[in-house]
Structure 1
Amino acid sequence: MTKTSLFGLKADHFRHPLDLEATTALKQLPGIDLVVRNLLGPVAEQFFYLNNIAASILVGQNQLPHLHKLLEDACTTLDLEPPQLYVQQNPAPNAYTFAMRGKQPFIVLHTSLIDLLTPEEIQAVIAHELGHLKCEHGVYLTPLNIMVLAASLIPNWGMLIAQSIQEKMLEWLRCAEFSCDRAALLATQNPRVVMSVLMKLAGGSPTLAPQLNLDAFIAQARAYDSVGDTELGQVLQQLQISQLSHPLPVLRAREIDRWASSQSYQSLLNQRLISYNNGDAQTGGWRNW
Protein backbone atom coordinates (compact mmCIF):
# COMPACT_ATOMS: atom_id res chain seq x y z
CA MET A 1 0.00 0.00 0.00
CA THR A 2 1.34 3.42 -0.99
CA LYS A 3 1.21 5.80 1.95
CA THR A 4 0.60 9.52 1.89
CA SER A 5 3.57 11.50 3.22
CA LEU A 6 2.20 14.26 5.42
CA PHE A 7 4.72 16.99 4.70
CA GLY A 8 4.15 19.93 7.00
CA LEU A 9 2.20 17.90 9.55
CA LYS A 10 1.96 19.64 12.91
CA ALA A 11 0.87 18.24 16.24
CA ASP A 12 -2.34 20.24 16.36
CA HIS A 13 -3.43 18.73 13.04
CA PHE A 14 -4.03 15.40 14.79
CA ARG A 15 -3.92 16.12 18.51
CA HIS A 16 -6.90 14.67 20.36
CA PRO A 17 -9.19 17.41 21.76
CA LEU A 18 -8.73 16.15 25.32
CA ASP A 19 -4.95 16.25 24.90
CA LEU A 20 -5.11 19.73 23.39
CA GLU A 21 -7.09 21.03 26.35
CA ALA A 22 -4.84 19.39 28.94
CA THR A 23 -1.57 20.40 27.26
CA THR A 24 -2.71 24.00 26.84
CA ALA A 25 -3.35 24.14 30.59
CA LEU A 26 0.11 22.72 31.33
CA LYS A 27 1.79 25.34 29.16
CA GLN A 28 0.37 28.03 31.43
CA LEU A 29 2.37 26.80 34.43
CA PRO A 30 4.99 29.50 35.12
CA GLY A 31 8.62 28.52 34.68
CA ILE A 32 8.00 24.98 33.45
CA ASP A 33 10.08 25.37 30.27
CA LEU A 34 12.91 27.01 32.23
CA VAL A 35 13.01 24.10 34.67
CA VAL A 36 13.11 21.55 31.87
CA ARG A 37 15.76 23.21 29.72
CA ASN A 38 18.17 24.53 32.31
CA LEU A 39 17.81 22.30 35.37
CA LEU A 40 16.45 18.89 34.44
CA GLY A 41 17.51 18.59 30.82
CA PRO A 42 21.31 18.20 31.04
CA VAL A 43 21.23 15.68 33.90
CA ALA A 44 18.40 13.59 32.45
CA GLU A 45 19.92 13.52 28.97
CA GLN A 46 23.29 12.35 30.25
CA PHE A 47 21.72 9.69 32.49
CA PHE A 48 19.58 8.15 29.75
CA TYR A 49 22.35 8.39 27.17
CA LEU A 50 24.74 6.43 29.38
CA ASN A 51 22.04 3.89 30.22
CA ASN A 52 21.21 3.28 26.57
CA ILE A 53 24.81 3.04 25.43
CA ALA A 54 25.65 0.64 28.26
CA ALA A 55 22.58 -1.61 28.27
CA SER A 56 20.81 -1.35 24.90
CA ILE A 57 21.41 -1.85 21.18
CA LEU A 58 21.50 1.27 19.01
CA VAL A 59 19.58 0.60 15.80
CA GLY A 60 21.04 1.85 12.53
CA GLN A 61 21.74 0.96 8.92
CA ASN A 62 24.30 -1.62 10.06
CA GLN A 63 22.45 -2.80 13.17
CA LEU A 64 18.94 -4.27 12.86
CA PRO A 65 18.41 -2.42 9.57
CA HIS A 66 14.81 -3.63 9.23
CA LEU A 67 13.88 -1.70 12.39
CA HIS A 68 15.85 1.30 11.15
CA LYS A 69 13.82 1.24 7.92
CA LEU A 70 10.54 1.13 9.86
CA LEU A 71 11.67 4.18 11.82
CA GLU A 72 12.76 6.13 8.76
CA ASP A 73 9.56 5.39 6.85
CA ALA A 74 7.39 6.46 9.80
CA CYS A 75 9.40 9.67 10.19
CA THR A 76 9.01 10.43 6.49
CA THR A 77 5.25 9.97 6.69
CA LEU A 78 4.91 12.08 9.84
CA ASP A 79 7.47 14.68 8.66
CA LEU A 80 9.77 14.31 11.64
CA GLU A 81 13.53 13.97 11.82
CA PRO A 82 14.49 10.45 12.96
CA PRO A 83 15.37 10.12 16.64
CA GLN A 84 17.76 7.48 17.89
CA LEU A 85 16.19 4.05 18.28
CA TYR A 86 17.37 1.51 20.86
CA VAL A 87 16.39 -2.09 21.55
CA GLN A 88 16.58 -3.23 25.16
CA GLN A 89 16.28 -6.71 26.63
CA ASN A 90 13.17 -6.72 28.81
CA PRO A 91 10.40 -9.29 29.44
CA ALA A 92 7.69 -6.60 29.74
CA PRO A 93 6.36 -5.60 26.29
CA ASN A 94 6.78 -1.84 26.30
CA ALA A 95 8.23 1.13 24.46
CA TYR A 96 9.03 4.65 25.60
CA THR A 97 10.57 7.87 24.43
CA PHE A 98 12.55 10.68 26.02
CA ALA A 99 12.99 14.20 24.72
CA MET A 100 13.99 17.63 25.90
CA ARG A 101 13.09 20.53 23.65
CA GLY A 102 15.74 21.28 21.04
CA LYS A 103 17.71 18.07 21.68
CA GLN A 104 17.79 14.85 19.69
CA PRO A 105 15.40 12.44 21.41
CA PHE A 106 15.40 8.66 21.46
CA ILE A 107 12.95 5.77 21.46
CA VAL A 108 13.44 2.45 23.27
CA LEU A 109 11.71 -0.78 22.24
CA HIS A 110 11.71 -3.81 24.52
CA THR A 111 12.63 -7.13 22.95
CA SER A 112 9.45 -8.80 24.22
CA LEU A 113 7.36 -6.22 22.38
CA ILE A 114 9.22 -6.86 19.13
CA ASP A 115 8.68 -10.61 19.54
CA LEU A 116 4.94 -10.04 19.98
CA LEU A 117 4.25 -7.87 16.93
CA THR A 118 4.41 -7.99 13.15
CA PRO A 119 6.64 -5.48 11.30
CA GLU A 120 3.64 -3.25 10.52
CA GLU A 121 2.62 -3.31 14.16
CA ILE A 122 6.16 -2.50 15.30
CA GLN A 123 6.04 0.53 13.01
CA ALA A 124 2.74 1.54 14.63
CA VAL A 125 4.44 1.44 18.04
CA ILE A 126 7.38 3.48 16.74
CA ALA A 127 4.95 6.00 15.26
CA HIS A 128 3.07 6.17 18.56
CA GLU A 129 6.33 7.15 20.26
CA LEU A 130 7.02 9.64 17.47
CA GLY A 131 3.64 11.12 18.34
CA HIS A 132 4.94 11.90 21.83
CA LEU A 133 7.87 13.72 20.22
CA LYS A 134 5.68 15.57 17.74
CA CYS A 135 3.36 16.72 20.53
CA GLU A 136 6.25 17.50 22.92
CA HIS A 137 4.67 15.49 25.72
CA GLY A 138 8.05 14.72 27.28
CA VAL A 139 8.72 18.40 27.88
CA TYR A 140 6.00 18.50 30.51
CA LEU A 141 6.06 15.00 31.99
CA THR A 142 9.38 15.33 33.86
CA PRO A 143 8.62 18.60 35.70
CA LEU A 144 5.20 17.29 36.69
CA ASN A 145 6.86 14.32 38.35
CA ILE A 146 9.19 16.71 40.19
CA MET A 147 6.21 18.78 41.33
CA VAL A 148 4.52 15.68 42.76
CA LEU A 149 7.68 14.78 44.68
CA ALA A 150 8.16 18.31 46.01
CA ALA A 151 4.54 18.66 47.10
CA SER A 152 4.66 15.38 48.98
CA LEU A 153 7.42 16.83 51.19
CA ILE A 154 5.22 19.69 52.41
CA PRO A 155 4.00 19.02 56.00
CA ASN A 156 0.32 18.34 56.68
CA TRP A 157 -1.29 19.22 53.36
CA GLY A 158 1.60 18.04 51.20
CA MET A 159 0.28 14.57 50.43
CA LEU A 160 -3.13 15.92 49.47
CA ILE A 161 -1.53 18.46 47.13
CA ALA A 162 0.73 15.78 45.65
CA GLN A 163 -2.22 13.46 45.11
CA SER A 164 -4.17 16.21 43.36
CA ILE A 165 -1.24 17.00 41.04
CA GLN A 166 -0.69 13.32 40.34
CA GLU A 167 -4.34 12.78 39.45
CA LYS A 168 -4.19 15.68 37.00
CA MET A 169 -0.94 14.34 35.57
CA LEU A 170 -2.41 10.87 35.04
CA GLU A 171 -5.47 12.38 33.39
CA TRP A 172 -3.22 14.35 31.04
CA LEU A 173 -1.17 11.24 30.26
CA ARG A 174 -4.29 9.30 29.32
CA CYS A 175 -5.37 12.13 27.03
CA ALA A 176 -1.89 12.28 25.46
CA GLU A 177 -2.04 8.58 24.56
CA PHE A 178 -5.06 9.19 22.34
CA SER A 179 -3.04 11.69 20.28
CA CYS A 180 -0.16 9.26 19.90
CA ASP A 181 -2.47 6.49 18.75
CA ARG A 182 -3.59 8.90 16.04
CA ALA A 183 0.05 9.39 15.04
CA ALA A 184 0.35 5.61 14.74
CA LEU A 185 -2.68 5.58 12.46
CA LEU A 186 -1.28 8.39 10.31
CA ALA A 187 1.99 6.49 9.89
CA THR A 188 0.49 3.09 9.10
CA GLN A 189 -2.70 4.45 7.48
CA ASN A 190 -4.41 1.23 8.49
CA PRO A 191 -6.63 1.34 11.59
CA ARG A 192 -6.65 -2.44 11.92
CA VAL A 193 -2.88 -2.46 12.43
CA VAL A 194 -3.12 0.01 15.31
CA MET A 195 -6.05 -1.80 16.89
CA SER A 196 -4.22 -5.11 16.55
CA VAL A 197 -1.33 -3.69 18.59
CA LEU A 198 -3.75 -2.66 21.32
CA MET A 199 -5.38 -6.09 21.29
CA LYS A 200 -2.03 -7.84 21.70
CA LEU A 201 -0.99 -5.50 24.50
CA ALA A 202 -4.25 -6.30 26.27
CA GLY A 203 -3.91 -10.08 26.17
CA GLY A 204 -1.43 -11.30 23.63
CA SER A 205 1.69 -13.44 23.73
CA PRO A 206 3.95 -14.79 20.99
CA THR A 207 1.94 -18.03 21.17
CA LEU A 208 -1.55 -16.52 21.36
CA ALA A 209 -1.07 -13.56 19.01
CA PRO A 210 -1.75 -15.46 15.75
CA GLN A 211 -4.99 -16.83 17.21
CA LEU A 212 -6.50 -13.50 18.32
CA ASN A 213 -9.59 -12.19 16.52
CA LEU A 214 -9.49 -8.44 15.92
CA ASP A 215 -13.17 -8.13 15.00
CA ALA A 216 -14.11 -9.79 18.30
CA PHE A 217 -11.85 -7.33 20.13
CA ILE A 218 -13.56 -4.37 18.44
CA ALA A 219 -16.95 -5.80 19.43
CA GLN A 220 -15.61 -6.08 22.98
CA ALA A 221 -14.83 -2.34 22.93
CA ARG A 222 -18.40 -1.56 21.96
CA ALA A 223 -19.67 -3.79 24.77
CA TYR A 224 -17.55 -1.85 27.26
CA ASP A 225 -19.15 1.37 26.02
CA SER A 226 -22.60 0.00 26.78
CA VAL A 227 -21.67 -0.40 30.47
CA GLY A 228 -21.50 3.39 30.69
CA ASP A 229 -25.14 3.72 29.73
CA THR A 230 -26.06 3.66 33.42
CA GLU A 231 -24.94 6.08 36.14
CA LEU A 232 -23.42 3.24 38.18
CA GLY A 233 -21.55 2.00 35.13
CA GLN A 234 -20.06 5.44 34.54
CA VAL A 235 -18.87 5.66 38.14
CA LEU A 236 -17.27 2.22 37.98
CA GLN A 237 -15.58 3.02 34.67
CA GLN A 238 -14.12 6.21 36.13
CA LEU A 239 -12.81 4.38 39.19
CA GLN A 240 -11.27 1.75 36.94
CA ILE A 241 -9.10 4.24 35.04
CA SER A 242 -8.44 6.92 37.68
CA GLN A 243 -5.00 5.58 38.64
CA LEU A 244 -3.91 4.44 35.18
CA SER A 245 -1.32 6.25 33.05
CA HIS A 246 -2.79 4.80 29.84
CA PRO A 247 -6.41 4.51 28.72
CA LEU A 248 -7.81 1.00 28.61
CA PRO A 249 -6.87 -0.80 25.36
CA VAL A 250 -10.51 -1.28 24.35
CA LEU A 251 -11.15 2.47 24.66
CA ARG A 252 -8.06 3.29 22.63
CA ALA A 253 -9.23 0.89 19.94
CA ARG A 254 -12.66 2.50 19.93
CA GLU A 255 -11.15 5.98 19.57
CA ILE A 256 -8.98 4.89 16.63
CA ASP A 257 -11.95 3.19 14.99
CA ARG A 258 -13.95 6.41 15.25
CA TRP A 259 -11.17 8.74 14.10
CA ALA A 260 -10.31 6.53 11.11
CA SER A 261 -13.86 7.16 9.87
CA SER A 262 -13.79 10.88 10.57
CA GLN A 263 -13.59 13.72 8.08
CA SER A 264 -10.55 15.20 9.84
CA TYR A 265 -8.50 12.03 9.30
CA GLN A 266 -9.52 11.71 5.66
CA SER A 267 -8.74 15.39 5.09
CA LEU A 268 -5.19 14.92 6.36
CA LEU A 269 -4.62 12.03 3.96
CA ASN A 270 -6.17 13.87 1.02
CA GLN A 271 -4.23 17.07 1.64
CA ARG A 272 -0.89 16.23 0.04
CA LEU A 273 0.92 19.37 1.18
CA ILE A 274 0.57 21.42 4.35
CA SER A 275 2.86 24.45 4.37
CA TYR A 276 4.80 25.83 7.31
CA ASN A 277 4.10 29.50 7.97
CA ASN A 278 2.81 30.12 4.45
CA GLY A 279 5.63 28.13 2.90
CA ASP A 280 8.61 29.69 4.69
CA ALA A 281 11.51 27.29 5.08
CA GLN A 282 12.40 26.03 8.53
CA THR A 283 16.01 26.23 9.59
CA GLY A 284 18.04 25.12 12.56
CA GLY A 285 17.43 22.90 15.53
CA TRP A 286 15.42 19.77 16.11
CA ARG A 287 12.04 19.97 14.40
CA ASN A 288 9.61 18.92 17.09
CA TRP A 289 6.32 20.80 17.07
Structure 2
Amino acid sequence: MDKKSILTGLRANHFRHPLDLQATESLKQLPGLGLAIRTLLRPTAEQFFYLENIATSVLVGPHQLPAIYGLLEEACQVLDIEPPQLYVKQHPVPNAYTFAMRGKQPFIVVHTSLIEFLNPQELQAVLGHELGHLKCDHGVYLTLANLIALAASHLPLGPVLAQNLQSQILEWVRCAEFTCDRAALLVSQDARVVASVLMKLAGGSPTLSPQLNLDAFLSQANAYEDLSHDQLGAFLKQIRAQELTHPVPVLRAKEITQWHGTLDYQKLLETCSIQYNNDSTKGGWRNW
Protein backbone atom coordinates (compact mmCIF):
# COMPACT_ATOMS: atom_id res chain seq x y z
CA MET A 1 0.00 0.00 0.00
CA ASP A 2 1.62 3.25 -1.19
CA LYS A 3 -0.58 5.67 0.72
CA LYS A 4 -2.18 5.71 4.14
CA SER A 5 -4.67 8.07 5.78
CA ILE A 6 -3.79 10.17 8.82
CA LEU A 7 -6.99 10.59 10.83
CA THR A 8 -6.73 14.19 11.97
CA GLY A 9 -9.04 15.07 14.82
CA LEU A 10 -9.84 11.42 15.46
CA ARG A 11 -11.71 10.81 18.71
CA ALA A 12 -12.20 7.58 20.58
CA ASN A 13 -15.95 7.52 20.02
CA HIS A 14 -15.40 7.73 16.27
CA PHE A 15 -14.33 4.08 16.27
CA ARG A 16 -15.34 2.72 19.67
CA HIS A 17 -17.23 -0.56 19.36
CA PRO A 18 -20.88 -0.40 20.51
CA LEU A 19 -20.27 -3.21 22.98
CA ASP A 20 -17.37 -1.24 24.45
CA LEU A 21 -19.59 1.84 24.84
CA GLN A 22 -22.21 -0.19 26.65
CA ALA A 23 -19.74 -2.04 28.87
CA THR A 24 -17.86 1.16 29.78
CA GLU A 25 -21.07 2.87 30.82
CA SER A 26 -21.93 -0.14 32.99
CA LEU A 27 -18.47 -0.04 34.55
CA LYS A 28 -18.87 3.65 35.39
CA GLN A 29 -22.03 2.80 37.33
CA LEU A 30 -20.09 0.70 39.83
CA PRO A 31 -20.58 2.25 43.30
CA GLY A 32 -17.61 4.30 44.51
CA LEU A 33 -15.83 4.44 41.16
CA GLY A 34 -15.07 8.17 41.39
CA LEU A 35 -13.62 7.82 44.87
CA ALA A 36 -11.56 4.83 43.79
CA ILE A 37 -10.06 6.78 40.89
CA ARG A 38 -8.94 9.53 43.27
CA THR A 39 -7.56 7.24 45.96
CA LEU A 40 -6.29 4.04 44.34
CA LEU A 41 -4.50 5.33 41.27
CA ARG A 42 -1.54 7.00 42.91
CA PRO A 43 1.68 8.26 41.28
CA THR A 44 3.65 5.68 43.28
CA ALA A 45 2.41 2.87 41.04
CA GLU A 46 3.34 4.81 37.90
CA GLN A 47 6.85 5.37 39.21
CA PHE A 48 7.23 1.70 40.12
CA PHE A 49 6.36 0.48 36.63
CA TYR A 50 8.55 3.16 35.06
CA LEU A 51 11.55 1.97 37.09
CA GLU A 52 10.75 -1.66 36.31
CA ASN A 53 10.73 -1.03 32.56
CA ILE A 54 13.84 1.13 32.56
CA ALA A 55 15.68 -1.55 34.53
CA THR A 56 14.63 -4.72 32.70
CA SER A 57 13.54 -3.79 29.14
CA VAL A 58 14.88 -1.90 26.12
CA LEU A 59 13.43 1.58 25.58
CA VAL A 60 12.78 2.04 21.86
CA GLY A 61 13.67 5.40 20.33
CA PRO A 62 15.30 7.16 17.37
CA HIS A 63 18.68 5.64 18.31
CA GLN A 64 17.43 2.31 19.69
CA LEU A 65 15.61 -0.02 17.28
CA PRO A 66 14.76 2.99 15.05
CA ALA A 67 12.75 0.94 12.55
CA ILE A 68 10.33 -0.14 15.28
CA TYR A 69 10.24 3.42 16.59
CA GLY A 70 9.31 4.59 13.09
CA LEU A 71 6.36 2.20 13.08
CA LEU A 72 5.21 3.64 16.40
CA GLU A 73 5.54 7.24 15.22
CA GLU A 74 3.59 6.51 12.07
CA ALA A 75 0.83 4.71 14.00
CA CYS A 76 0.55 7.66 16.39
CA GLN A 77 0.25 10.06 13.45
CA VAL A 78 -2.55 8.01 11.95
CA LEU A 79 -4.50 7.83 15.23
CA ASP A 80 -3.73 11.45 16.16
CA ILE A 81 -2.18 10.59 19.53
CA GLU A 82 1.04 11.54 21.28
CA PRO A 83 3.64 8.73 21.25
CA PRO A 84 3.93 6.81 24.51
CA GLN A 85 7.10 5.11 25.63
CA LEU A 86 7.68 1.77 23.92
CA TYR A 87 9.69 -1.04 25.49
CA VAL A 88 10.85 -4.35 24.06
CA LYS A 89 11.07 -7.07 26.68
CA GLN A 90 12.73 -10.46 26.44
CA HIS A 91 9.95 -13.00 27.03
CA PRO A 92 9.07 -16.41 25.55
CA VAL A 93 5.28 -15.80 25.57
CA PRO A 94 4.09 -13.68 22.59
CA ASN A 95 2.29 -10.68 24.06
CA ALA A 96 1.96 -6.91 24.06
CA TYR A 97 0.32 -4.74 26.69
CA THR A 98 -0.32 -1.15 27.65
CA PHE A 99 -0.22 0.65 30.97
CA ALA A 100 -1.55 4.11 31.78
CA MET A 101 -2.79 5.62 35.03
CA ARG A 102 -4.41 9.05 34.93
CA GLY A 103 -2.93 9.40 31.46
CA LYS A 104 0.59 9.98 32.83
CA GLN A 105 3.70 8.14 31.70
CA PRO A 106 1.82 5.74 29.41
CA PHE A 107 3.85 2.95 27.90
CA ILE A 108 3.57 -0.07 25.65
CA VAL A 109 5.55 -3.28 26.13
CA VAL A 110 6.08 -5.79 23.32
CA HIS A 111 7.64 -9.17 23.96
CA THR A 112 10.51 -10.30 21.76
CA SER A 113 8.74 -13.59 20.97
CA LEU A 114 5.87 -11.66 19.39
CA ILE A 115 8.16 -9.53 17.24
CA GLU A 116 9.92 -12.65 15.97
CA PHE A 117 6.94 -14.01 14.01
CA LEU A 118 5.31 -10.78 12.82
CA ASN A 119 6.24 -8.77 9.76
CA PRO A 120 6.54 -4.96 10.05
CA GLN A 121 2.97 -4.26 8.96
CA GLU A 122 1.62 -6.77 11.48
CA LEU A 123 3.80 -5.36 14.26
CA GLN A 124 2.47 -1.90 13.47
CA ALA A 125 -1.09 -3.25 13.71
CA VAL A 126 -0.23 -4.57 17.19
CA LEU A 127 1.08 -1.13 18.15
CA GLY A 128 -2.13 0.38 16.77
CA HIS A 129 -4.16 -1.98 18.95
CA GLU A 130 -2.23 -0.95 22.04
CA LEU A 131 -2.51 2.74 21.13
CA GLY A 132 -6.25 2.17 20.96
CA HIS A 133 -6.20 1.37 24.68
CA LEU A 134 -4.54 4.73 25.32
CA LYS A 135 -6.81 6.63 22.94
CA CYS A 136 -9.87 5.26 24.75
CA ASP A 137 -8.45 5.55 28.31
CA HIS A 138 -8.82 1.81 28.77
CA GLY A 139 -5.65 1.55 30.84
CA VAL A 140 -7.05 3.63 33.68
CA TYR A 141 -10.25 1.63 33.95
CA LEU A 142 -8.50 -1.72 33.61
CA THR A 143 -6.04 -0.96 36.38
CA LEU A 144 -8.79 0.43 38.57
CA ALA A 145 -11.04 -2.56 37.97
CA ASN A 146 -8.28 -4.96 38.99
CA LEU A 147 -7.66 -3.00 42.19
CA ILE A 148 -11.38 -2.94 43.04
CA ALA A 149 -11.61 -6.69 42.54
CA LEU A 150 -8.59 -7.21 44.80
CA ALA A 151 -10.03 -4.98 47.52
CA ALA A 152 -13.42 -6.68 47.29
CA SER A 153 -11.92 -10.01 48.31
CA HIS A 154 -11.08 -8.53 51.74
CA LEU A 155 -14.57 -7.14 52.42
CA PRO A 156 -17.56 -8.83 54.12
CA LEU A 157 -19.23 -11.07 51.54
CA GLY A 158 -15.99 -10.52 49.66
CA PRO A 159 -15.92 -13.72 47.56
CA VAL A 160 -19.45 -13.16 46.28
CA LEU A 161 -18.77 -9.48 45.55
CA ALA A 162 -15.42 -10.22 43.96
CA GLN A 163 -16.95 -12.84 41.69
CA ASN A 164 -19.61 -10.39 40.54
CA LEU A 165 -17.01 -7.67 39.93
CA GLN A 166 -14.72 -10.08 38.12
CA SER A 167 -17.54 -11.04 35.79
CA GLN A 168 -18.25 -7.38 34.97
CA ILE A 169 -14.56 -6.62 34.56
CA LEU A 170 -13.89 -9.50 32.16
CA GLU A 171 -16.96 -8.58 30.10
CA TRP A 172 -15.68 -4.99 29.85
CA VAL A 173 -12.17 -6.12 28.88
CA ARG A 174 -13.48 -8.38 26.11
CA CYS A 175 -15.59 -5.54 24.69
CA ALA A 176 -12.64 -3.12 24.87
CA GLU A 177 -10.56 -5.51 22.77
CA PHE A 178 -13.01 -5.17 19.87
CA THR A 179 -12.47 -1.41 19.94
CA CYS A 180 -8.69 -1.77 19.92
CA ASP A 181 -8.83 -4.16 16.99
CA ARG A 182 -10.56 -1.31 15.16
CA ALA A 183 -7.68 0.98 16.10
CA ALA A 184 -5.32 -1.64 14.65
CA LEU A 185 -7.29 -1.58 11.42
CA LEU A 186 -7.26 2.22 11.27
CA VAL A 187 -3.47 2.08 11.52
CA SER A 188 -2.90 -0.76 9.04
CA GLN A 189 -5.92 0.11 6.84
CA ASP A 190 -5.86 -3.51 5.71
CA ALA A 191 -8.19 -5.99 7.41
CA ARG A 192 -6.09 -8.94 6.25
CA VAL A 193 -3.07 -7.60 8.14
CA VAL A 194 -5.06 -7.45 11.39
CA ALA A 195 -6.60 -10.87 10.78
CA SER A 196 -3.13 -12.27 10.08
CA VAL A 197 -1.91 -11.06 13.48
CA LEU A 198 -4.83 -12.85 15.14
CA MET A 199 -4.12 -16.02 13.16
CA LYS A 200 -0.48 -16.00 14.22
CA LEU A 201 -1.43 -15.40 17.85
CA ALA A 202 -3.72 -18.41 17.64
CA GLY A 203 -1.24 -20.82 16.08
CA GLY A 204 1.89 -19.14 14.84
CA SER A 205 5.60 -19.41 15.51
CA PRO A 206 8.72 -18.21 13.70
CA THR A 207 8.77 -21.47 11.70
CA LEU A 208 5.03 -22.05 11.24
CA SER A 209 3.87 -18.50 10.48
CA PRO A 210 5.09 -18.43 6.84
CA GLN A 211 3.08 -21.62 6.20
CA LEU A 212 -0.24 -20.36 7.59
CA ASN A 213 -3.17 -19.75 5.21
CA LEU A 214 -5.22 -16.67 6.08
CA ASP A 215 -8.18 -17.58 3.87
CA ALA A 216 -8.43 -20.94 5.61
CA PHE A 217 -8.34 -19.19 8.98
CA LEU A 218 -11.17 -16.85 7.94
CA SER A 219 -13.18 -19.88 6.85
CA GLN A 220 -12.52 -21.31 10.29
CA ALA A 221 -13.98 -18.09 11.73
CA ASN A 222 -17.14 -18.64 9.71
CA ALA A 223 -17.41 -22.19 11.05
CA TYR A 224 -17.10 -20.86 14.60
CA GLU A 225 -19.88 -18.36 13.94
CA ASP A 226 -22.10 -21.14 12.58
CA LEU A 227 -22.03 -22.81 16.00
CA SER A 228 -24.32 -20.03 17.23
CA HIS A 229 -27.12 -21.44 15.08
CA ASP A 230 -27.27 -24.45 17.39
CA GLN A 231 -28.64 -23.89 20.91
CA LEU A 232 -26.03 -26.10 22.56
CA GLY A 233 -23.21 -24.54 20.56
CA ALA A 234 -24.32 -21.02 21.51
CA PHE A 235 -24.50 -22.03 25.18
CA LEU A 236 -21.04 -23.58 25.17
CA LYS A 237 -19.58 -20.50 23.47
CA GLN A 238 -21.12 -18.25 26.10
CA ILE A 239 -19.82 -20.35 29.00
CA ARG A 240 -16.34 -20.47 27.48
CA ALA A 241 -16.24 -16.71 26.87
CA GLN A 242 -16.96 -15.90 30.51
CA GLU A 243 -13.54 -17.23 31.52
CA LEU A 244 -11.56 -15.24 28.94
CA THR A 245 -9.88 -11.84 29.07
CA HIS A 246 -9.98 -11.57 25.25
CA PRO A 247 -12.54 -12.67 22.66
CA VAL A 248 -11.35 -15.76 20.81
CA PRO A 249 -9.09 -14.97 17.83
CA VAL A 250 -11.44 -16.31 15.14
CA LEU A 251 -14.26 -14.11 16.43
CA ARG A 252 -12.00 -11.04 16.45
CA ALA A 253 -10.86 -11.79 12.89
CA LYS A 254 -14.46 -12.10 11.73
CA GLU A 255 -15.50 -8.92 13.54
CA ILE A 256 -12.72 -6.75 12.13
CA THR A 257 -13.19 -8.10 8.61
CA GLN A 258 -16.87 -7.21 8.76
CA TRP A 259 -16.22 -3.70 10.09
CA HIS A 260 -13.71 -3.08 7.32
CA GLY A 261 -16.54 -3.50 4.83
CA THR A 262 -18.99 -1.12 6.51
CA LEU A 263 -19.92 2.40 5.46
CA ASP A 264 -18.96 3.62 8.96
CA TYR A 265 -15.34 2.61 8.37
CA GLN A 266 -15.21 4.12 4.89
CA LYS A 267 -16.81 7.38 6.03
CA LEU A 268 -14.37 7.64 8.93
CA LEU A 269 -11.42 7.43 6.56
CA GLU A 270 -12.99 9.94 4.17
CA THR A 271 -13.98 12.58 6.74
CA CYS A 272 -10.93 12.50 9.04
CA SER A 273 -8.07 11.78 6.71
CA ILE A 274 -5.30 13.35 4.74
CA GLN A 275 -3.01 11.29 2.56
CA TYR A 276 0.73 10.79 2.75
CA ASN A 277 3.24 8.46 1.18
CA ASN A 278 4.88 5.88 3.42
CA ASP A 279 8.25 6.43 1.74
CA SER A 280 8.43 9.94 3.20
CA THR A 281 7.85 8.93 6.81
CA LYS A 282 10.62 8.96 9.39
CA GLY A 283 11.88 5.48 10.17
CA GLY A 284 9.86 3.81 7.45
CA TRP A 285 9.18 0.14 6.84
CA ARG A 286 12.07 -0.26 4.41
CA ASN A 287 14.63 -0.13 7.24
CA TRP A 288 13.42 -3.42 8.72
Common fold by TM > 0.5: yes
Q: Which residue identity does 2:170 align to in structure 1?
A: L
- Aligned equivalents of 2:50 and 2:38: distance in 1? 16
The residue that corresponds to 2:140 in the other structure is: 139
Q: Could you tell me how far 1:43 is from its partner in structure 2?
A: 1.8
Aligned sequence identity (%) = 64
- Counting matched residue pairs gives 273
Q: Which residue identity does 2:43 align to in structure 1?
A: P
The residue that corresponds to 1:128 in the other structure is: 129
SS in 2 for 1:218: helix
Deviations 1:97-154 (A, max 9, x none): 1112241310000000000100000000000000000010111112211221122123
Deviations 1:25-66 (A, max 9, x none): 223345535533554231210111010000000000000000
SS in 2 for 1:5: strand
The residue that corresponds to 1:87 in the other structure is: 88
Closer/same/farther in 2, CA of residues 272 and 142 from structure 1, 3 Å limit? closer
Aligned: 1:242 with 2:263: no
- Taking structure 2 as the reference length, the TM-score comes to 0.92
Unaligned runs of 5+ in 2: 275-288
The residue that corresponds to 2:206 in the other structure is: 206
SS in 1 for 2:104: coil
Unaligned runs of 5+ in 1: 275-289
**1:52/1:86 contact within 8 Å kept:** yes
SS in 2 for 1:4: strand
- Higher strand fraction (1 or 2): 2
The residue that corresponds to 1:267 in the other structure is: 267
- Aligned equivalents of 2:200 and 2:6: distance in 1? 27
Q: Which residue identity does 2:161 align to in structure 1?
A: I
Aligned: 1:63 with 2:35: no
Aligned: 1:226 with 2:226: yes
**2:46/2:105 contact within 8 Å kept:** no
The residue that corresponds to 1:215 in the other structure is: 215
Closer/same/farther in 2, CA of residues 143 and 61 from structure 1, 3 Å limit? same
The residue that corresponds to 2:51 in the other structure is: 50
Deviation larger for 16-25 or 207-216? 16-25
Closer/same/farther in 2, CA of residues 33 and 134 from structure 1, 3 Å limit? farther
Q: Which residue identity does 2:118 align to in structure 1?
A: L
Aligned: 1:5 with 2:6: yes
**1:36/1:100 contact within 8 Å kept:** no
- Aligned equivalents of 1:146 and 1:81: distance in 2? 27
**1:37/1:101 contact within 8 Å kept:** no
**1:198/1:253 contact within 8 Å kept:** yes
What's the Cα RMSD here?
1.4
SS in 2 for 1:106: strand
Equivalent residue runs for 1:57-206 within 5 Å: 57-155=58-156, 157-206=157-206
- Aligned equivalents of 1:273 and 1:246: distance in 2? 30
